Chains A and B, each alone.
Chain A
Amino acid sequence: MTNKSDKLNSVVSLTVNNQMITAPPGNTVVQALWHCGKARIKGIGCIEGVCGSCRVLVRRHASSSVTTELACQTTIEENMQVIFPPLSRPIPHQYQLTEITNERDLYAQFKQIFPEAQHCRHCGGCNISCPKDIDVEQGVRFATDGNFKEAGALFFTCVMCDLCSDACPELIAPNYVGLFSRRVYTCLHMKPANLLQRIDQLNRDEMDVVLPKNTGTIKDQ
């Protein structure tokens, strides 16, 4: 637990997009921006680390390495430099799930939808850039090997921040490969018996709901 008297009167200075700001220690980058009244809307979202909007480049004091992080999860440090990059615009990979109907054609369809994925050069940049420590390159490899179940599962914590897409020199969009993999696998394989049975019962009007007495729609037309 922080000793408040030690932290009294101490502020942390850092730069965000080349503008210097100061805020009390212990705050995240997002909170620090609010603290000094910087109106920042783009790049802020859930503030919980699941929407991927607040991706930033971070360089810490006296270090030459630059890391990719989520600003809502990054605690400020003295002389840190933070950059909110432009909004991501990944190359759209268009497909309709309704057109992917069987496993036999799936692999060929995948190659058409994500032709770049075949050209992974194994640079490992995607792994380093991922703020969720996903083994992105392995995920792409699973997909290009046709193991869509494994590919989708590997990306389960992916917040679609697009950092891996931005880091890929072959213009593969690995996070979209992962999402595609999980979606097609689900579509083709998920047929839960308990769900289907209940739907069948409902379709046959075998289940109904009886309303309590003296109730109805309250809304006035």
Chain B
Amino acid sequence: MQNGTPYNTALKYYSTDIHRPLVKADFSKAELLQNYHPDYDEHSMAILQSGSNRGDRCHKQLASILQASERAQENDFRNANIIETDVLVIGGGGAGCAAALTATGAGAHVLLATKLRLGDSNTIMAEGGIQASIEKNDTPQMHFDDTFKAGHQQGDTALIKQLVLDGPDVIQWLIQQGMQFDTDNAGNLLTRRAGSTSADRVVYYRDYTGLEMMRTLRESVLNSNIMLREYNPTIKLLSNKQGQCIGAVLHCLSNKTYTVVKANATIIATGGIGRMHLNGFPTSNHLGATGDGLALAYHLGAKLRDLDSFQYHPTGLAFPENLAGTLITEGIRSAGAQLLNADGKRFINELEPRDIVAAAIIRECVEGRGIFVSKKSRGVWLDTPTLEQKKPGILNSQFPKLVELGKKSGINPHHSPLLVYPTLHYQNGGIIIDKNGQTTVQGLYCAGEASGGIHGKNRIMGNALLEIISFGRRAGLHAAKQQAKKNKDPDQCHSILRNTGRSQNQQVARQYSPLLFPEYTGFNSSVKKND
């Protein structure tokens, strides 16, 4: 994609303009998605050959992980230490912490195991804010309608209904954990508009909402009785002969030992898949976002959904190249920043649903109206200087993280536009859950990005942070009430996929499941060295 305008040339022709009109669209939204959104690229999709979702459409790269051999075999952990607990939480982000805190608050003994450190997550990087319908001109019904519509009417309505009704209580709970939000002089929570929504509904803390949430929740966990195991990825879930989930196997990265955890209930809160770099996209996600929970649950026989639906956030930084994929919050478009092609023209309503905007940007670049730096680096302008002109001081006061990103890039967003391109950001689908976070496997729960059904085929800003707390708490509460299983003995410990048939090719897969870390970290090759 070397067509388009070179960066320096485009920059020369750029100018601010506070009255830039939006040209009427010459395309339908459906066409835009069909032709330009990566989810619609049939070459990147496959049909699952085995497991509970056999026959379903799934991204190729994800399919190969879901169907790959499990990392650990029974011999590896035959002599492992055994820990017994009431609730095992897998994942130390927002959903994991909310689940663990609620479970321990309900009297359960909780072990939280995480692959990296407590708090290493996508939660901590979230910038936009969290949705809750609290303004007078807003209602939970409107919140529901916006969510359902943006998801292309594919979301689970019962889950969405519960989510939106939970919103205000979730904010209250976060405040009780000590999380601060931006307020006006009267102490009311400030709200801003998310793309494709009908009211201002996103409450926030500067553009550091995720950081504030995560450091608060982490402190709550550290001040509780929750047992913590960091650098202990879960590499396998265990089930008994009855097919109920009875716990998991952890692998300690420091001393290479295994631990078997037997739990009445296990909650998967492992987050997203960005570091799989689907379709070669850069990602906004943290290092650990490799879809581990999906693979673990799939091998246990849980059913998943929407495995062909991923969110590419429209505004990932595209230049400088070593920062490619870094997220720039949608909040800045909510505040009025516009997207411009190389000709200095707007081409899409910036507050359309994210999939529409992302597809529109890709279209501009494919059709030669984009700006390019190199083969790998191209995009469109995010017009921050015009926003600053319209609302002087807004960048420093509401978007300090963006200003910092500018400093690091050597680009001053007050004077210069930023080059942006879609970045792999969120997994819309995931493990199927009910209102209490229960999956299709008894004893196994899921909360957060790893779960599916709420966002349909496209998520709106602020619903992810709401979801992790809302469903994290509910899963934690329900899990805490689970009685001990009568049969705590793991079944032969082979993956359920063996029983549902697998093609020869897939058995020879070089990958292990779960992935744990992207290939370029060298982790998998070092594991092989030590085998």
Asked if A and B form a direct contact in the complex, defined as CB atoms under 8 angstroms apart, the reply is yes
| A residues apposed to B, CB below 8 Å | 1, 4, 26-28, 31, 34, 37-42, 44-51, 53, 73, 75, 87, 92, 94-97, 152, 156-160, 176, 179-180, 182-187, 189-195, 197-199, 202, 207-212, 215-221
Given the complex, which residues of A lie within 8 Å of B303, measured CB to CB? Answer: 219-220
Given the complex, which residues of A lie within 8 Å of B401, measured CB to CB? Answer: 50
Given the complex, which residues of A lie within 8 Å of B242, measured CB to CB? Answer: none
Inter-chain pairs besides A31-B322, A192-B183, A219-B156, 6 sampled, C-beta below 8 Å? A41-B517, A53-B116, A183-B177, A195-B188, A209-B144, A221-B440
B134 near A157 with CB under 8 A, answer no
B188 near A38 with CB under 8 A, answer no
B175 near A28 with CB under 8 A, answer no
B178 near A183 with CB under 8 A, answer yes
Report how many A-B pairs have Cβ atoms within 8 Å. 199
A182 to chain B, nearest CB (A): 6
Smallest Cβ-Cβ distance to A195: which chain B residue: B134
B116 near A41 with CB under 8 A, answer yes
B376 to chain A, nearest CB (A): 12
* Contact status of A182 and B287, CB under 8 A, knowing A39-B522, A194-B135, A219-B440: no
B98 to chain A, nearest CB (A): 16
B394 close to A (CB within 8 Å): no
B52 to chain A, nearest CB (A): 9
In the bound complex, CA of A137 to CA of B215 (Å): 20
The one of A1, A49, A191 that contacts B404, using a Cβ cutoff of 8 Å: A49
A211 near B287 with CB under 8 A, answer no
A197 to chain B, nearest CB (A): 8
A212 near B134 with CB under 8 A, answer no
Q: Mark B514-526, 1 if CB is under 8 A from A, else 0.
A: 0001001111011
Q: How many residues of B contact A (CB 8 A)?
A: 86
Given the complex, which residues of A lie within 8 Å of B408, measured CB to CB? Answer: 49, 73
A41 near B8 with CB under 8 A, answer no
Given the complex, which residues of A lie within 8 Å of B210, measured CB to CB? Answer: 50
In the bound complex, CA of A193 to CA of B181 (Å): 13
Given the complex, which residues of A lie within 8 Å of B489, measured CB to CB? Answer: none
B32 close to A (CB within 8 Å): no
A183 near B525 with CB under 8 A, answer no
In the bound complex, CA of A92 to CA of B218 (Å): 12
Within 8 A of A (CB), among B229-265: 231, 253
B208 near A195 with CB under 8 A, answer no
B287 near A47 with CB under 8 A, answer yes
A–B pairs, 8, beta carbons within 8 Å: A96-B223, A97-B176, A176-B219, A179-B219, A189-B187, A198-B132, A198-B168, A216-B158
B53 to chain A, nearest CB (A): 11
Pick the most buried of A1, A95, A184: most chain B CB atoms within 10 A of its CB. Answer: A1
B267 close to A (CB within 8 Å): no
B322 near A179 with CB under 8 A, answer no
B141 near A210 with CB under 8 A, answer yes
B120 near A46 with CB under 8 A, answer yes
Given the complex, which residues of B lie within 8 Å of A48, measured CB to CB? Answer: 125, 284, 286, 326-327
Given the complex, which residues of A lie within 8 Å of B432, measured CB to CB? Answer: 218-220
Given the complex, which residues of B lie within 8 Å of A27, measured CB to CB? Answer: 322
B168 near A184 with CB under 8 A, answer no
In the bound complex, CA of A172 to CA of B64 (Å): 49
The one of A53, A189, A221 that contacts B117, using a Cβ cutoff of 8 Å: A53
**8 tightest A-B CB contacts, nearest first:** A183-B178, A39-B522, A39-B526, A215-B157, A46-B286, A37-B522, A219-B432, A192-B189
B434 near A217 with CB under 8 A, answer yes
In the bound complex, CA of A152 to CA of B219 (Å): 14
> Which of B159-167, B362-370, B464-472, B495-503 is the contact stretch?
B159-167
* Contact status of A179 and B175, CB under 8 A, knowing A26-B321, A53-B117, A207-B141: no
B183 near A51 with CB under 8 A, answer no
A216 near B215 with CB under 8 A, answer no
A76 to chain B, nearest CB (A): 10
In the bound complex, CA of A194 to CA of B432 (Å): 34
Q: Mark B320-348, 1 if CB is under 8 A from A, else 0.
A: 11100011000000000000000000000
A51 near B157 with CB under 8 A, answer no
A183 near B219 with CB under 8 A, answer yes
* Contact status of A28 and B136, CB under 8 A, knowing A53-B116, A186-B180, A195-B172: no
Given the complex, which residues of B lie within 8 Å of A94, measured CB to CB? Answer: 223
B426 close to A (CB within 8 Å): no
* Contact status of A209 and B141, CB under 8 A, knowing A45-B120, A183-B219, A220-B432: yes
In the bound complex, CA of A53 to CA of B287 (Å): 11
In the bound complex, CA of A46 to CA of B284 (Å): 9
In the bound complex, CA of A17 to CA of B320 (Å): 27
B278 close to A (CB within 8 Å): no
In the bound complex, CA of A190 to CA of B161 (Å): 27
Within 8 A of A (CB), among B93-140: 116-117, 119-120, 124-125, 132-136, 139-140
